[in-house]
Amino acid sequence: MKKILIADDHQLFNDGMKMMLGAEDDIEIVGQVFSGKEVLHAVHTRQPDLLLLDINMPHLNGMEVAEKMRESYPAVRVIMLTMYSDRKFVDDCKRLGVPAYILKNSGVDEVLNAIETVLAGKRYYDPKLTKSTNPDQHADDSFQRQFQLTKREIEIIGLIGQSFTNDEIAEKLFLSVATVKTHRNNINLKLGIKQPADLVRFAIEHGLS
């Protein structure tokens, strides 16, 4: 039996993966966690062979978890299962030795293929990455290229630097508050920022506010 731990903060997606993978005769879902800080404890207690891990996780993001996994549980194989096709995240995962990276728009057959591949000691990086991951997607803007930020993210950073709240940013940009929060999470991931004050400082230092 292949013992798998699922780490994703979206309950519906997490439960969906459990249902789909658990239907396989040779797979046992040994646990589900919903934040980055829960992963290492769950790995210690549940002893999975493989960890399905999202990048955008609360408390500790997936990249931080992957680094800790490499240090503490190198025998546990990690598959990054995420919506992000950004070259920065892909390259960081390769640098951390993460053996597999799959986009969330993949089918269950591809996930199963990746599981088989990495448990056989090989790497599996989603073939769709060669099409969707474009290192020059922001080539017209050196700032965007340097930090892999979208124009919307830069706009939001500027408003944060001007002390706008999430509600005010949402109203100004005609977005939902939830969308603004998602953008802020993405920004923090890309810039490695943990505290709101650090993002304000970034905006000021780079002349965005």
pLDDT score of 135: 46
What is the mean pLDDT of the segment spanning 147-176?
A: 88
pLDDT score of 162: 86
CATH of 142-205 among 1.10.238.10, 1.10.1060.10, 1.10.10.10, 3.40.190.10? 1.10.10.10
HSE-up of residue 188 (Cα within 13 Å, Cβ side): 22
Q: How far apart are CA 50 and CA 30, in angstroms?
A: 10
At the topology level, CATH places domain 2-132 in: Rossmann fold (3.40.50)
The more confident residue out of 208 and 1 is 1
Q: How far apart are CA 197 and CA 17, in angstroms?
A: 36
Could you give the percent of the chain with pLDDT greater than 90?
A: 53
Amino acid at 31: G
pLDDT in tens, 46-89: 999 999 999 888 788 898 999 999 999 999 999 999 988 888 88
Q: In this model, does residue 9 exceed pLDDT 80?
A: yes
Q: How far apart are CA 180 and CA 174, in angstroms?
A: 10
Average pLDDT in the chain: 88
Domain segments of the chain as ranges: 2-132, 142-205
Q: What is the DSSP letter of 81?
A: E
* CA distances to 43, 160, 180, 205 from 164, in Å: 40, 5, 12, 17
pLDDT score of 208: 77
> Taking a C-beta distance cutoff of 8 angstroms, is the pair 156, 190 a contact?
no
* CA distances to 38, 68, 116, 160 from 4, in Å: 15, 18, 12, 39
Within the chain, residue ranges assigned H as helices are: 11-22, 39-46, 62-72, 87-95, 108-119, 129-132, 142-147, 151-161, 166-173, 177-191, 196-205
Q: How far apart are CA 183 and CA 156, in angstroms?
A: 8
Q: In this model, does residue 202 exceed pLDDT 90?
A: no
